[in-house]
A and B are shown apart, each in its own frame.
Chain A
Amino acid sequence: MKNIIKLILSSLFAVVVFAGTSQAADPIKLGILEDETGNFSIAVIPKIHAYELAVKELNEKGGVLGRPLEIIHYDTQSDNTRFQEFARRLIKRDKVDVIFGGFSSASRESIRPIMDKNKQLYFYNNQYEGGVCDSNVFVTGAVPEQQFSTLVPWMMEKYGKNVYNIAADYNFGQISAEWVRQIVKENGGTMVGEEFIPLSVSQFSQTIQKIQKAKPDVLMTLLVGAKQASFYEQQAAAGLGIPMATSINVGQAFEHRRFKPPALENMYVTVNYIEEVHEVIKSGKFHDKSKDFVKRFHALYPNETYINMEAANAYNAINLYAKAVEKAGTTDMDKVRRALETGISFDGPSGIVRIDPKSHHGSHTIFLVHVDKGHVVKIPKIWENIEPYWLGEAGCDLSKKDDYSQYTPSNPPSN
């Protein structure tokens, strides 16, 4: 008797569930793989909120193609294996129409094979070392040619031609260092030193001594993670006093808010957005866009730690996808990809972001951010419409030829 009742109840439950899902307009499912917890969460939580903000706004305007957008997010815990597990879940079980996500390059690389195998449309919305030429992947994050080709010559012109570079000892740091070396040379400078530091190092006394020995004019700091970020406090305590330049810090993990001044005194960063844009630029289009974006963001998330550049990228990505789906008239992943390759652009918090059909990467406005000794931010220069030119020039053309690789300056596509 008990079993019969159980059977009836479970059937009823099943009916209700299925009936429920078939009544609503069939939503477009956006899979999100981002680190809500773990070492990377500092820079990633604003991204997650940005996705949610973008989706909420689009749904308030009636959704895309008349269908609401639905987010399915799994916390990848800053763990590559979780990325793999949940990528499969999103593709096989949740059957999502598109996937957004990834912070570290390793996490992106751990799921790219899965995306390619399943021909899954995937947006990577983070700055990284560049070089991904993959038919299924679109990148809204900034790449070295955008950040360094602007930053390094500017620093050399202002402070001098002798450059010292400390970089995290792994792909991102090493490839970025290649870019720095190249650009320094092209601009008639000298690399007076280069040191690669393992990710687990948190004590920098020796590093600081080596830098002082070389007497550089400019110190490039390509340091990743909370442990390596201890460098800034330690160099300030030791009174190092050399102007620093980076592509990574401040714009992602807002160190200028987290460290006590003057740890980041005289730090220069090239970013594609930070939340202070409208506070520093008092008028004009960048002021208006940033102010409006921050206002809407804080309306939904009043206690947001910091609206970083990756949050802007995440927001842009959702909107670019929406525009592409509207243009394609369908969520079919191949057709959406082709729509994205028609030069889709979106006018976002930091200005216009346009997808380059050849490389699937986004063009950006690059802001040069300067942090002073009170950790107050200034923006001495803005470069508009900096294209992700390298991959296209080097031989990657996804609009004509499929590819599924990552290239580096020393291993370009034309090999």
Chain B
Amino acid sequence: MKNSYFVKNKLQTITFIILALIPVFVDSYFVNNISFFMIWTFIALSLSLIWGKGGILSFGQAAFFGLAGYSFGIIGINFADVYGVGIWSVIIALIITGLFGLIVGYFLFYGGIYDVFVGIVTLSMTLVFETFMSQTAGPEWTVGIARLNGFNGMQGMPSIGISLFGYNFEALDNKGYYVILILAILVLYFLDKLANSKFGLILSASKEDRLRVQSLGYNVKRVHMLTFAISAVLAGMSGILYTNWGGFITPESMGLVSAALPVVYCAASGKNNFFAVFLGTILLVWISQELAINGRQFALIFMGLLLVVATRYFPDGMFLFFINFTKKMAGKIIGK
């Protein structure tokens, strides 16, 4: 089963192999940096699922990012001495986020909220989180022994990892890179399977014509709610990995910019194609960092130009365009 995915998607497989080999050739800073880029792919993929496949634009991914990150931190700080906390804090945080996604999804879709209204409701939700968390600076804002610490952010949580037979595995630096890469491969595999399943087909179909699919007897609301929950978990993965990477999480992760960025990455890459979004996000975050280093004052201008040009000339997404182009070229070279 797994073999068929990697055989069918040669470009993906080649990319994964290249990514897996990178740490052999570059120094630890570079590896850590690419880990950082990959962290953002999960939240972009979460949007690719709900928006690209489902046709529902959500500005709420940043809220799930923050919720998962803070949950991971709170659990980790409170149970720092309990065995395996580095693993099950992740699992519990994701469960919490998924449940919350389910509740919000229920509120949205069973309440008949669609189109641009989903965007506004989820944006409001995200900003409520941000505003609320920003003022939790006081000592009374503590969950167990973990201080939320408001705007200044929460720190001091243990890393993702586990102690096995005296060997301390921590998902940081090179090991962290492989953990993230493996997670990414698993997620992409899972999303591909999901998209091609009956569930996925109902989702894509209802993007085209929701009422018709509903009238055919499919429970579209349930599908949307579940998809929303899954995308919440994906966004949460980014949140946890980010918190793990920096040892730090702040309400800024749930602000207006943080809410808009994944939308931008997803749209510019080619929201319908999971792999394009994966690669596109890595490249966009990288480009934006390089611009900040080398472009300085003009960094944001170049970034803006890039986005404007992308929508103007590559309406289906820049990286999707390049991927298809690469495939065509490769096909020409190999086939002919």
Contacts and interface: CB of A to CB of B under 8 A. Distances in A.
Indicate if A touches B (C-beta under 8 A): yes
Interface of A: 36-37, 74-75, 77, 79-82, 84-86, 88-89, 92-93, 105-106, 109-110, 112-114, 117, 169-172, 174-175, 196, 198-200, 406, 408, 410-411
B134 A198 contact: yes
A84 B156 CA distance: 15
Nearest to B248: A110
Contacts of B28: 92
B3 interface: no
Given A106-B151, A411-B139, 6 more contacts: A37-B296, A37-B297, A80-B250, A84-B246, A198-B135, A199-B134
25 contacts: A37-B296, A74-B292, A77-B300, A80-B250, A81-B252, A85-B33, A89-B29, A92-B28, A105-B151, A106-B151, A106-B152, A109-B153, A110-B248, A113-B156, A113-B248, A117-B247, A170-B151, A171-B137, A174-B138, A175-B137, A196-B135, A198-B135, A199-B151, A200-B131, A408-B139
Nearest to B296: A75
B27 interface: yes
Contacts of B296: 36-37, 75
Nearest to B172: A117
A88 B247 CA distance: 12
Interface in B125-166: 131, 134-135, 137-139, 147, 149-153, 155-156
Given A77-B299, A171-B151, A82 B292 contact: yes
Contacts of A75: 292-293, 296-297, 299
Most interface-central of B27, B151, B155 (chain A CB within 10 A): B151
Interface string B15-35: 000000000000111101100
B139 A410 contact: yes
B124 interface: no
Contacts of A82: 292
Interface residues of B, number: 34
Contacts of A93: 27, 29-30
> Which 9 pairs from chain A and chain B are nearest by CB?
A170-B151, A92-B29, A171-B137, A113-B247, A93-B29, A171-B152, A169-B135, A84-B246, A109-B152
A292 to B, nearest CB: 31
Contacts of A86: 293
Interface-central residue, B32, B147, B150, by most chain A CB under 10 Å: B150
A74 B295 CA distance: 11
A87 to B, nearest CB: 9
Contacts of A110: 153, 246, 248, 250
B248 A84 contact: yes
Nearest to A36: B296
Contacts of A81: 246, 252
Contacts of A92: 27-29, 32
B42 interface: no
A218 B99 CA distance: 49
B36 interface: yes
B130 to A, nearest CB: 9
A200 B156 CA distance: 28
A113 B149 CA distance: 15
A36 B297 contact: yes
B289 interface: yes
From A81, A105, A406, A410, name the one whose CB has the most chain B CB atoms within 10 angstroms.
A81
Nearest to A128: B152
Nearest to A410: B139
Interface string B269-303: 00000000000000000000100110011011000
Given A80-B252, A110-B250, A170 B135 contact: yes
Contact of A169 (B33, B134, B152, B155): B134
B91 to A, nearest CB: 23
B251 to A, nearest CB: 9
B102 to A, nearest CB: 29
Of B152, B245, B293, B297, most buried by chain A (CB within 10 Å of CB) is: B152
A106 B293 contact: no
